[in-house]
Structure 1
Amino acid sequence: MKKYSLVVLIATVFIMLFSVPAAANQTDYMVGDFTDIEDHWAYDQMSELIAMGILKGYTETVYDRELGNTRVQVVRPDQNVTRAEFAALLYQALNLKPEGETAPFSDKIPSWAADAVNALFKAGIVKGNPDGSFKAGNNISRAEIATMLVQALNDRSRQTGKAFRDVPSWHWAYDNIQKASAVGIINGMPDGKFVPGRSAKRGEVMVMLYRFMLDDQTMAPDNSELLSYTDNMLKAMEASINSTGPVNLSTVSRYVTGEQEAIVADSQAALNDLKQNGTVSYKVNYPGTVISKSDRLAELVYDTVSTFKTATTNLEQRSKEHYYLMKIGDRWYIYSNMDDRML
């Protein structure tokens, strides 16, 4: 292998494995695969949900002058969201399981959304309409989203939030909108309105869903629990990379999900290419530090040192690595990581 291509490979592997966003929510797509979100105001929240494996998007065929017809992945952030689509997103975010019982709605639920609607009904998160229907194909309103997210909160306390001038106290969703505002799920519009009856766009939905996951904090875990999961993953990473034999990241895979699972899987062959041409090492300074945590999400930071040495090359990367975790069932998984230089 030529020296210049080694340097490129080293940089690529270190960046891919230790410095970029990254079981249960494995995703087929990376954040960078989506072509319509980079300049959108909700990019940060959409990219987090993509990395978690919750937001899948759509595949479209577009024409490229050089490549011809090309398949690309899109989110369509300015498209409306139906009640069935939001139910499917919330079902995924809550990691609910299919229920044997069928929700007693009078209208038909699409088969692709049936598990989600049945589970959300069983959990008391969706109740349907006064006429007994669910209206799966109707666009979901901002008030309906606020209501469903509040019903899904672990925090059951009554709280008073911002007074929106278009949400009077007699509005059917007043209490839920107040609670959603107090928790931080919604902020409203610059003019002081909430516009409760307006159909929600996909970008708006992703922002509210991410804030819901971030701000529900009544059952946040002890720091020791988060550190234990992350320490175990990093120790497995150290042991595999620093071993005298080939790198085998199967011991790491059980700790990761979403985009990070795909990154780990793609990195093994590249790391083994490096080991055939020099010495690779990875060192973590324990303990890490818990930066933030909620019932469903957490951020931790560790100091790490990655090195690659040959007779003519000595590369070292010192980083403060931020690891982003999500709770799936009763376990925590790393879905993304990024170093200080990229924040």
Structure 2
Amino acid sequence: MLHKSVYRLRRKAAACAVCAALLLTPALAASFTDVPQNAWYAAAVNEVVDAGLLSGTSATTFQPSGKVTRAMTVTALWRLAGSPAPKSSQSFSDVPSDAWYSQAVAWAAETGVASGNGKGAFQPGNLVTREQLAVFLYQYAQSQGLDTAQGKLSAYTDGNTVSKWAVDGMEHAVGAGLISGSKGKLSPKANATRAELAVVLERLMTPAVG
């Protein structure tokens, strides 16, 4: 069962997404030739692209099976939060000040949504696994001052393979209904895809009923 604050997170996220949409004019997801209308992620892609949280890889493609990077993840969450201006500049040796993700990285580091590698680098191009995505989501919820959910990893046959540092994050993601398994597995070490990220963001945007 979700905490009431998780419901509030979804309602707040929906409002923030509207603000982000006013700042961006992405291509309509319906124009993506690689997103079949009956795909399990099609509706989510439409929602998040129209809201400006994600964009296509070209005017006609979304690349749903493409892998998610750290830069992509923090930028999507930054937009979900309403694209707030960082209070201070966070300098990483591998984040140029004019990079499309520079403000998002600074915001993520400032709020605790993400951190660098401890050696002055953020590694924006590194791929994100499903358990790493769960941690981003957990830290995002904490950054908004909200309680987190607690799901049961034991319900999945590979729940015990989640890294110790990712357990809290995965429990939150599962308990909040943001990440679900496939055929009884969470596949925590698998790389997250753009389709999966779209579905997660759409779930955050959707106000809970009840």
TM-score by length of structure 1 reads: 0.48
Match of 2:90 in 1: 103
Kindly indicate whether the alpha-carbon contact (under 8 Å) linking 2:138 and 2:168 is maintained by their aligned counterparts in 1: no
Rate the CA distance shift 1:188–1:129 in 2: closer, same or farther, 3 A. Answer: farther
For each residue in 1:159-193, what CA deviation from the matched residue of structure 2 results, as whole angstroms up to 9, or x when unmatched?
Answer: 23342333437621011101111111011121x22
Q: Whole-Å Cα distance in 1 between the matches of residues 112 and 26 of structure 2?
A: 31
Aligned to 2:116, the other structure's residue is in SS state coil
Identity rate, percent: 28
Alignment of 1:65-144 (within 5 A): 72-103=59-90, 105=92, 107-110=93-96, 111-131=99-119, 133-144=121-132
Q: Which has the higher helix share?
A: 2
For each residue in 1:12-60, what CA deviation from the matched residue of structure 2 results, as whole angstroms up to 9, or x when unmatched?
Answer: xxxxxxxxxxx7244242232222112432101111112212222122x
Q: Whole-Å Cα distance in 1 between the matches of residues 128 and 201 of structure 2?
A: 14
Aligned with 1:161 (options 118, 141, 152): 152
- Alpha-carbon shift at residue 103 of structure 1 (Å): 2.5
Match of 1:51 in 2: 50
Alignment of 1:251-262 (within 5 A): none
Aligned to 1:187, the other structure's residue is in SS state coil
Q: Whole-Å Cα distance in 1 between the matches of residues 52 and 124 of structure 2?
A: 23
Kindly indicate whether the alpha-carbon contact (under 8 Å) linking 1:161 and 1:179 is maintained by their aligned counterparts in 2: no
- Alpha-carbon shift at residue 100 of structure 1 (Å): 4.5
Aligned to 2:206, the other structure's residue is in SS state helix
Asked if 1:184 is matched to 2:177, the reply is yes
Which stretch of the first structure deviates more once superposed, 122-131 or 137-146? 122-131
Q: Whole-Å Cα distance in 1 between the matches of residues 45 and 152 of structure 2?
A: 25
Rate the CA distance shift 1:92–1:128 in 2: closer, same or farther, 3 A. Answer: same
Q: Whole-Å Cα distance in 1 between the matches of residues 163 and 52 of structure 2?
A: 38
- Alpha-carbon shift at residue 109 of structure 1 (Å): 1.5
Asked if 1:193 is matched to 2:185, the reply is yes
Larger relative contact order (CA 8 Å, sep ≥ 6): 2
- Cα RMSD of the aligned pairs, angstroms, is 2.4
Answer with 1 or 2: which has the greater Rg.
Answer: 1
Aligned to 2:60, the other structure's residue is in SS state strand
- Alpha-carbon shift at residue 108 of structure 1 (Å): 1.0
Kindly indicate whether the alpha-carbon contact (under 8 Å) linking 1:166 and 1:193 is maintained by their aligned counterparts in 2: yes
Rate the CA distance shift 1:130–1:156 in 2: closer, same or farther, 3 A. Answer: farther
Residue identity opposite 2:130 in structure 1: R
Match of 2:13 in 1: none
Residue identity opposite 2:101 in structure 1: A
Aligned to 1:73, the other structure's residue is in SS state coil
- Alpha-carbon shift at residue 200 of structure 1 (Å): 0.9
Unaligned runs of 5+ in 2: 1-20
For each residue in 1:281-307, what CA deviation from the matched residue of structure 2 results, as whole angstroms up to 9, or x when unmatched?
Answer: xxxxxxxxxxx48xxxxxxxxxxxxxx
Alignment of 1:265-280 (within 5 A): none
Match of 1:29 in 2: 27
Residue identity opposite 1:82 in structure 2: T
TM-score by length of structure 2 reads: 0.76
Alignment of 1:317-332 (within 5 A): none
- Alpha-carbon shift at residue 128 of structure 1 (Å): 2.9
Match of 1:202 in 2: 194
Rate the CA distance shift 1:205–1:24 in 2: closer, same or farther, 3 A. Answer: same
Q: Whole-Å Cα distance in 2 between the matches of residues 131 and 214 of structure 1?
A: 38
Q: Whole-Å Cα distance in 2 between the matches of residues 158 and 41 of structure 1?
A: 25
- Alpha-carbon shift at residue 142 of structure 1 (Å): 0.9
Rate the CA distance shift 1:103–1:28 in 2: closer, same or farther, 3 A. Answer: closer
Aligned residue pair count: 182
- Alpha-carbon shift at residue 131 of structure 1 (Å): 4.7
